[in-house]
Amino acid sequence: MNSRRIAIGLLVWGGLVMGTAGQGALAAEGDSRPALSAEAAEALARAESSVAQATARKALWTTATSALAQAQEAARKADNAAVMEYAAVASEQASRGMAQLDSPLTNQQH
Amino acid sequence: MKRATWILSCLGMLAFSADAMSVSPEQERLKRVQAVQKKYPDIKFEDYVYGALAFSADAKEQYDNMMAFPPFESEIDKGRALWETPFRNGRHYADCFPGGGKNVAGNYPYYDETMKKVVTFEMALNQCRTKNGEAAYKSSDMNSMGLLTAYARTLSDGMLMNVKVKGDGALAAFESGRRFFYQRRGQLNFSCASCHVGHVGEILRTEYLSMLPGQATHWPAFRGGDYALFTLQRRYSACNQLVRAVPMEIGGEEYNNLEYFHSYLSNGLPLKASVFRK
Amino acid sequence: MEKPVAIVTAASLSLLLAATFMSAARAAAPGPEPSGQELAFDNRKGNCLACHAMPGDPKAVTSTNIAPPLVGMAARFPDRSKLYGQIWDATRTNPDTAMPPFGKNGILTDAEINKVVDYVYGL
């Protein structure tokens, strides 16, 4: 007869725990080691590598640099979604800059 | 018949190799000057130094009025003090240059065969410093090198640009600078030539686009409402940023080679330093 | 005996909801989207006024004479995809062009280009 009450109690306490755990995850922003997802960390590393390559080839765009800065800022806050978004822009803009090196010189006629 | 064939094939090979080689510096310069003369026959060659001002009598008049009493005179005076102050060893900048530094700037940049690189006038000023036991200035520091060159270059006002490109090393540096000028860069995908060869004298929003010949003659410039001091290479940096390209190093190889090409393209035009520009 | 359970259920549910709302609130609240005209005029976006006069729009203030004025575009570009392509990457029709590749280089999004195309057709 008490089993129903126990089941409800368990459900209720489970909900409470999930709620506070959610609050705890948000509070983790202030912790010394924020948790960046593996996917986001990998995207950031790829972006840093692309930007470094473009820099070495003297083909870096300011848009790549600023997107990377925003990705790094988002990484400090463990904002995985923002890291993914900005890292993608940084990688794309960096590779566009390098591809531009192959474009022909302009105004070569007359 | 055999001989004619031989002569023709020799001529053919000559023609082929001429196409394969880059255009010579003088051919390049003449091509660009003639293009402007053709498009704007009423603008005198010597007025190319005014750039955008050459297209508007009103703008030129405002400039002339400004230059009668330049608001940045005190900055040039600071440069004069830097130039005239002796080094700790008692020697002066004037001792490093022929004629005490008068009428020398038009010979820069030049290609130094020993160092195997382009030497700009600002590098020569720094060489003078280090030769006399002083630390070199940062080329990008407008408060030291900027002010010094703002005065030092005025000693060459009126001198015609006279850059030389002779020998393989010099030609390679010139070509490197030329390629920089004509290469698309930045997210906006402009080359310098897109505007300053392709659309000379046309208006970008509200501003006339200056012609390539003449551009390198009038530096440093004091720009805009606050008369900010810009050396030529600081201007390169600003232009690169405008097209959303991360700029090269001021005083670095890319901008030095670019200045070499850019200055050659102004050969025959009179220098005038420390002028106003929008 | 059921009242305390009900109270606790309500409390935990509201905590859960609060947690969800807080994470949703961290996403940027979208402001009003710029119009095609605004994108065309904005010098950080299309900046079309830098090179193109727009005689049909009294708000289009520019002295430029670099590129063809944007007027009568429906007659000049009956095929929308051609006008879209011109904005996306003008070097495909003229390798020497001074027009930036707004789509290819990521200066404008596809949605933004479409808005600009709509605006330009209306000039």
Are the CB atoms for B185 and B132 separated by under 8 Å? no
Confidence of residue A109 (pLDDT cuts 50, 70, 90): confident
* B12 has pLDDT over 90: no
Average pLDDT, chain B: 94
The Cα B45–Cα B260 span in angstroms is 21
Residue A82 has pLDDT above 50, yes or no: yes
Question: CA-CA distance, B108 to B110, in Å (whole number)?
Answer: 5
Closest Cα partner for B240 from A65, A2, C54?
A: A65
For C12, which of A15, A81, A104 is closest by C-beta distance? A15
Average pLDDT along chain A: 85
Say how far apart CA B223 and CA B277 lie, in whole Å.
5
A18-41, pLDDT tens digit by residue?
A: 655 555 555 444 555 568 999 999
- Tell me, yes or no, if C109 comes closer than 8 A to chain A by beta carbon: no
pLDDT tens-place string over residues B89-140: 999 999 999 999 999 999 999 999 999 999 999 999 999 999 999 999 999 9
A109 touches chain B (CB under 8 A): no
Assigned token pair, B268:
């025959």
pLDDT of residue C98: 98
What confidence tier does A14 reach under pLDDT thresholds 50, 70, 90?
low
Tell me how far apart the 2 most distant CA atoms of chain B are, in Å. 78
| Nearby residues of A59 by Cβ (< 8 Å), 6 or more positions away | A97, A98, A100, A101, B185
pLDDT at position A7 is 59
Mean pLDDT of B206-229: 97
Cβ <8 Å between C15 and A15 = yes
Examine residue C95 and say whether the peptide bond preceding it is cis (omega within 30 degrees of 0). Answer: no
**Roughly how many angstroms between the first and final C-alpha of chain A, as a whole number?**
97
In angstroms, the Cα distances linking B275 to A38, B69, B160, B271 are: 56, 11, 17, 11
Residue B21's pLDDT band (boundaries 50, 70, 90)?
Answer: very low
pLDDT in tens, B147-178: 999 999 999 999 999 999 999 999 999 999 99
Q: Residue B91: what pLDDT?
A: 98
Task: Tell me what pLDDT residue C1 has.
Answer: 54
Confidence of residue C32 (pLDDT cuts 50, 70, 90): confident
Report the gap between the CA of C83 and the closest CA in chain A (Å): 23
The predicted pLDDT at position C25 comes to 45
ipTM value for the complex? 0.88
Could you give the 3-state DSSP secondary structure of residue B66?
helix
Query: How big is chain C by its Cα radius of gyration, in Å?
Result: 24
- Of B10, B96, B192, B239, the catalytic one is B239
Distance of CA A57 to the CA centre of its chain: 25
Q: What is the pTM of this model?
A: 0.84
**Dihedral over Cα of B54, B55, B57, B60: its sign:** negative
pLDDT, one tens digit per residue, over A83-105 is 999 999 999 999 999 999 999 99
> B9 pLDDT band (50/70/90 cuts)?
low
Shortest distance between the Cα of B251 and any Cα of chain C, in A, equals: 28
Residue B237 tokens read as 């940096």
Q: Are B139 and B233 in contact (CB under 8 A)?
A: yes
Q: What is the per-residue pLDDT for B23?
A: 82
* Distance in angstroms (rounded) separating the CA atoms of residues A86 and A72: 9
Residues C104, C89 contacting (CB under 8 angstroms):
yes
- Determine the average pLDDT of the residues in B49-65: 97
pLDDT digits (tens, 9 = 90+) for B228-253: 999 999 999 999 999 999 999 999 99
CA distance C8 to chain A (A): 6
Q: Which residues of A touch B184 (CB under 8 A)?
A: 100, 103, 106
**With contact defined as beta carbons under 8 Å apart, do A86 and A74 qualify?**
yes
Question: What is the predicted pLDDT for the residue at A35?
Answer: 82
Question: In this structure, are residues A63 and A42 in contact, taking their beta carbons and an 8 Å threshold?
Answer: no
How confident is the model over A43-63, as pLDDT tens digits?
A: 999 999 999 999 999 999 999
- Cβ burial, residue B84 (10 Å; 0-12/13-18/19+): exposed
* B17: confidence class by pLDDT, cuts 50, 70, 90: very low
Q: Is B239 a catalytic residue?
A: yes
CB interface of A with B, residues 42-101, below 8 Å: 55, 58-65, 93, 96-97, 100-101
With CA atoms as reference, the chain A residue closest to B179 would be A105
